[in-house]
Chains A and B, each alone.
Chain A
Amino acid sequence: MLQNRIFKRFTRNKTSLVGLLLVCFFAFIALFAPVLAPVDNARNPYQMPQSSYAIEPQTPSASHWFGTTEQQYDLYYGVVWGARLAFKIGITVTFFAFLIGLLVGSAAAYFGGKTDEVIMRLTDVVFAVPSLVLAMVIAAMLGPDIKNMMIALTAVAWPSYARLVRGDILSVKQRDFVTAARALGAGGPRIMLRHILPNSIYPSVVVASLDIGYIVLTAASLSFLGLGAQPGTADWGQLIAMARNWVLGTSGNTLAYWHTVFIPGGAIFFFVLGWNLLGDAFRDILDPRQG
């Protein structure tokens, strides 16, 4: 019944279908990256192969379908494995941010009083600094590395979940079915796990689905600034960073090296667009105000 409703909503709205298709498309690429772009030897698969050390990027050809970027890194390989890395970053960071936010937010709502006050002021501190700036500071302090970048992104992303979860729990806590459960003799853990959380988690799920795209975008920004993936890594932000010197093209032909920017840029664009449309669709489906 619920599945049926979700399916109907999806097919009714064309944009959500586009979002689903985009995300599925990228998921397919990410899953089959070893088939689509085989790793030639047992080195780190996220390290892009280099055909030579010449500086000037080469336009797309039969041997390099998407051309090469600075220092002859294969763009096709970079985009395919970059999709895998994007999923890895987006899902891991969102998962941990969601988990931390859920634990912290429910602790604040459950204990209330001073605990609540301390936790919420802590989230305010994180909110007070622009998230990209804060992520940059943390990433710079930990050192440029993909793992450190993911830690920095998680540290910036969890407070919004904590806030959301706390607010939803507080409103559900007031409902009569929670009081009824208490009157029946249900204990704290049972009320929390059976009644409160199942009724307050969905808004956060929607935010999480919207967040995956946004996290990947922020990760790309950090990589572009040299605070994330290192040169040669199959990371979309890193690919754009390597295109920095070629954006203007040659004199008289500004689009001479277009592929170095547009191909990884397009990958980021469609990836984020897909998750946004999908998140919007989730929001519509899970909105209880619609029948």
Chain B
Amino acid sequence: MNPIEIKNVYKTYTRKRFLSFGKREETPVLQDVSLCLKENHVLGLVGESGCGKTTLSKIILGLEKASSGQVIVDGKEISKLTKPAFKKLRRLMQVIFQDPYSSLDPRMNVGQIIGEPLDIHGLYKDKLSRRKILEELVKSVGLSPEHLTRYPHEFSGGQRQRIAIARALALDPKVLIADEPVSALDVSVQAQILNLLKEIKQKRRLSMLFVSHDFAVARFLCDEIAVMYKGRIMEYAPAEELFSNPQHPYTEALFSAVPVPDPVRQKKREAVSLTARPGMENHPCPFAPRCAYVCEACHTAPLLAQVRPGHFCACAALPFKNKKSSFAV
């Protein structure tokens, strides 16, 4: 059984304007998103800011409701669960946020922060066993038991993220949802946290949904990657397949923007322009205004179709696209 399955999820934000007499402004955030997180796999969710990555992770966590579609966690559809049943289900999936400065309560010490999930779900017998669990947790994320009585402001960004990871692990979840867990950290610290996540994933046999806008980071950790654009999945493939064989024009453009650590090669590369052309806002393909390959084939909305074994891509112009791409990562 797959830990998380998402089927045809739509999400639309409606906003009632002041004095608009019932007129509503609708903003589609997610459109027909279907994904599947396999056991002990890391699924990367990549895309530019505002494409709906975070909204999708919030919907999975039950912090927001999908407008339609199904989210199935551990075989149970979350919208059909009662409150106590969903609270129980929460133990299976935990979250790590992007900003470790805002994700820890400044007026609680580390022991209280990491111990809170244990308190909420009543997961210990007495104070001694609680203390023991906490000590094991801090050790497992590379901190020491002395840190339990300290306050978040005494720690660096990387250490704070370790505390957040320890809190997420306190409930012994099966799934970790990591919402850009390293993008707020220094590059040197990023590597430490990524290694820690990888180690924890292997030790605890976790599945992970890894939201990121950084392909290098996603490549390091992910088994599969889904590329999102304007609330839709554009391309979905095993990580190595995606990097060696990007199909969608948007994925190509994103790859061309990732710098290569070789000055000679980097100089020769040319970034694909992503400037939107005006007058194409109503095109059936959401990416058309910024796409270099728009042609007659693009007159219908593109559907996610299998282009190679296990590799899905939503582009109608794919068969006509010039295959010689000038950039390899």
In the complex, residue of chain B having the shortest beta-carbon distance to the beta carbon of A2: B151
Is B167 located at the chain interface by the 8 A CB criterion? yes
Known contacts A175-B103, A180-B103, A199-B105; can you find 15 more A-B pairs with CB under 8 A?
A: A175-B102, A176-B99, A177-B103, A179-B103, A180-B95, A183-B61, A183-B63, A183-B94, A184-B94, A184-B120, A184-B167, A185-B90, A185-B120, A194-B108, A199-B107
25 residue pairs A–B, Cβ–Cβ below 8 Å? A175-B102, A176-B99, A176-B102, A176-B103, A177-B102, A177-B103, A177-B104, A179-B63, A180-B97, A180-B167, A181-B105, A181-B116, A182-B63, A183-B61, A183-B62, A183-B63, A184-B90, A184-B94, A184-B171, A185-B91, A190-B120, A194-B108, A194-B116, A195-B105, A198-B107
In the bound complex, what is the Cα–Cα distance between A190 and B87 (angstroms)? Answer: 14
Contact call B116/A186, Cβ cutoff below 8 A: yes
In the complex, residue of chain A having the shortest beta-carbon distance to the beta carbon of B150: A1
Q: Can you list the 5 inter-chain pairs with the closest CB atoms, starting with the nearest?
A: A176-B103, A176-B102, A185-B90, A177-B105, A185-B87
Interface string of A164-187 (1 = CB under 8 A from B): 000000000001110111111110
Contact call B97/A199, Cβ cutoff below 8 A: no
In the complex, residue of chain A having the shortest beta-carbon distance to the beta carbon of B171: A184
Is B106 located at the chain interface by the 8 A CB criterion? yes
In the bound complex, what is the Cα–Cα distance between A179 and B62 (angstroms)? Answer: 11
In the bound complex, what is the Cα–Cα distance between A177 and B62 (angstroms)? Answer: 16
Among B97, B98, B121, residue most surrounded by chain A Cβ atoms (within 10 Å): B97
In the bound complex, what is the Cα–Cα distance between A27 and B324 (angstroms)? Answer: 85
> Which residues of chain A from 195 to 210 have any CB-CB distance to chain B below 8 Å in the complex?
195, 198-199
Is B302 located at the chain interface by the 8 A CB criterion? no
In the complex, residue of chain A having the shortest beta-carbon distance to the beta carbon of B118: A184
In the bound complex, what is the Cα–Cα distance between A181 and B104 (angstroms)? Answer: 10
How many Å from the CB of A188 to the closest CB on chain B?
11
How many Å from the CB of A216 to the closest CB on chain B?
31
In the bound complex, what is the Cα–Cα distance between A183 and B116 (angstroms)? Answer: 12
Residues of B within 8 A of A179 (CB): 63, 97, 103
How many Å from the CB of B153 to the closest CB on chain A?
9
In the complex, residue of chain B having the shortest beta-carbon distance to the beta carbon of A291: B153
The main secondary structure of chain B at its interface with chain A is: loop
Binding site for B on A (CB under 8 A): 175-177, 179-186, 190, 194-195, 198-199
Contact call B121/A185, Cβ cutoff below 8 A: yes
Residues of A within 8 A of B171 (CB): 184
Residues of B within 8 A of A182 (CB): 63
* Chain B interface residue bracket vs A: 20 to 34
How many Å from the CB of B134 to the closest CB on chain A?
15
Residues of B within 8 A of A190 (CB): 120
In the bound complex, what is the Cα–Cα distance between A7 and B94 (angstroms)? Answer: 41
Contact call A184/B116, Cβ cutoff below 8 A: yes
How many Å from the CB of A200 to the closest CB on chain B?
10
Is B117 located at the chain interface by the 8 A CB criterion? yes
How many Å from the CB of A181 to the closest CB on chain B?
7
In the bound complex, what is the Cα–Cα distance between A199 and B104 (angstroms)? Answer: 12
Residues of A within 8 A of B103 (CB): 175-177, 179-180
> Which residues of chain B from 240 to 291 have any CB-CB distance to chain A below 8 Å in the complex?
none
Known A185-B90, A199-B107; contact A176-B97, beta-carbon cutoff 8 A = yes
Interface string of B32-67 (1 = CB under 8 A from A): 000000000000000000000000000001110000
> Which residues of chain B from 170 to 217 have any CB-CB distance to chain A below 8 Å in the complex?
171
In the complex, residue of chain B having the shortest beta-carbon distance to the beta carbon of A288: B106
Residues of A within 8 A of B98 (CB): 176
In the bound complex, what is the Cα–Cα distance between A198 and B106 (angstroms)? Answer: 10
In the complex, residue of chain B having the shortest beta-carbon distance to the beta carbon of A182: B63
Contact call A184/B117, Cβ cutoff below 8 A: yes
Residues of B within 8 A of A175 (CB): 102-103
In the bound complex, what is the Cα–Cα distance between A195 and B113 (angstroms)? Answer: 11
How many Å from the CB of B119 to the closest CB on chain A?
9
Residues of B within 8 A of A181 (CB): 105, 116
In the bound complex, what is the Cα–Cα distance between A35 and B204 (angstroms)? Answer: 71
In the bound complex, what is the Cα–Cα distance between A36 and B106 (angstroms)? Answer: 46
In the bound complex, what is the Cα–Cα distance between A210 and B107 (angstroms)? Answer: 24
In the bound complex, what is the Cα–Cα distance between A280 and B57 (angstroms)? Answer: 44
Residues of A within 8 A of B95 (CB): 180, 183
In the complex, residue of chain B having the shortest beta-carbon distance to the beta carbon of A179: B63
Interface string of B79-105 (1 = CB under 8 A from A): 000000001001100110111001111
Residues of B within 8 A of A198 (CB): 105, 107
How many Å from the CB of A116 to the closest CB on chain B?
15
In the bound complex, what is the Cα–Cα distance between A194 and B106 (angstroms)? Answer: 11
In the complex, residue of chain A having the shortest beta-carbon distance to the beta carbon of B62: A183
How many Å from the CB of A205 to the closest CB on chain B?
14
Residues of A within 8 A of B91 (CB): 185
How many Å from the CB of A184 to the closest CB on chain B?
5
In the bound complex, what is the Cα–Cα distance between A184 and B63 (angstroms)? Answer: 11
In the bound complex, what is the Cα–Cα distance between A182 and B116 (angstroms)? Answer: 11
